[in-house]
């Protein structure tokens, strides 16, 4: 399975997210409890020239694993259902620890209540629904990091 | 609140409305508005 996911990620064409000042890659912190999905996300980020600063598998791990890298993290990807816990309640804590980091929810549970809470109460930067397409994955992080000027252009194309 | 699942397109429209400052809070009618936008932006069938 690990080999299969690696082949899928490595056989897909990716564009570069670019770099920060001084040629440094954007740093990602991945919060995901499913090993295979975490590997896919991490591999895809690396294929887009991003770097993995760390990861957490549960709500309990978030604080102590984020703490040593909190000042360098640019983007935090976050699953909602971590075991039996809903991770949305951790977002205010994460924002206080790493206020510069952009938070992207990556979830298979896009209920109306989760989406409204994430977007309008917790003000996360993006919400990506699992399973996601390659295009949606690329566009999400390009938008969040400001490397895609055509963000969501197709959504209103017919009405413009 | 409803446990209805939203698709990526609906979420993208919500993000666009929020990020453009057109909507600052999630009201009850918000998804009705998004549904109307989706219908208007969908390509018409049967026309060349």
The whole-angstrom distance between A1's CA and the closest CA on chain B is 27
Which residue range(s) make up the domain with B32? 8-20+28-39
Instruction: Determine, yes or no, domain membership for B3.
Output: no
Instruction: Express as a percent the part of chain B with pLDDT over 90.
Output: 21
3-state secondary structure of A68: helix
Overall domain count for chain B: 1
Check A155 against B9: CB less than 8 A apart: yes
Does the domain formed by A2-159 have CATH 3.40.50.2300?
yes
ipTM of the complex: 0.81
pTM of the model: 0.84
Among A29-33, A74-78, A121-125, A139-143, the range scoring the smallest mean pLDDT is A139-143
Instruction: Band the pLDDT of A9: cuts 50, 70, 90.
Output: low
Residue B44 lies inside a defined structural domain of this protein? no
Give mean pLDDT, residues A108-137. 92
Is residue B12 a part of any domain in this protein? yes
Tell me whether B36 touches chain A (CB under 8 Å): no
Q: Is the pLDDT of residue A20 over 60?
A: yes
Flag whether B34 is in a domain: yes
What average pLDDT does chain A have? 86
Interchain contact B45–A (C-beta under 8 A) = no
DSSP symbol at B44? P
């Amino acid at each position: 399975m690990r080999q299969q996911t690696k082949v899928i990620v490595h056989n897909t064409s990716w564009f570069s997210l670019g770099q920060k000042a001084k040629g440094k890659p954007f740093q990602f912190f991945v919060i995901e409890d499913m090993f295979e999905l975490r590997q896919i996300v991490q591999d895809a980020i690396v294929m887009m020239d991003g770097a993995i600063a760390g990861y957490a598998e549960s709500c309990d791990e978030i604080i102590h694993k984020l703490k040593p890298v909190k000042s360098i993290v640019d983007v935090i990807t976050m699953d909602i259902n971590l075991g039996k816990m809903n991770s949305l309640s951790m977002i205010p804590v994460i924002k206080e620890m790493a206020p510069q980091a952009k938070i992207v929810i990556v979830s298979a549970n896009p209920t109306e209540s989760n989406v409204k809470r994430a977007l309008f109460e917790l003000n996360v930067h993006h919400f990506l629904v699992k399973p996601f397409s390659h295009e949606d994955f690329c566009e999400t992080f390009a938008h969040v990091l400001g490397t895609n000027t055509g963000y969501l252009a197709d959504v209103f194309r017919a009405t413009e | 609140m409803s446990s209805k699942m939203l698709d990526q397109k609906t979420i993208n429209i919500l993000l666009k409305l929020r990020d453009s400052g057109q909507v600052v809070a999630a009201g009850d009618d918000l998804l009705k508005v998004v549904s109307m936008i989706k219908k208007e932006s969908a390509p018409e069938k049967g026309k060349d």
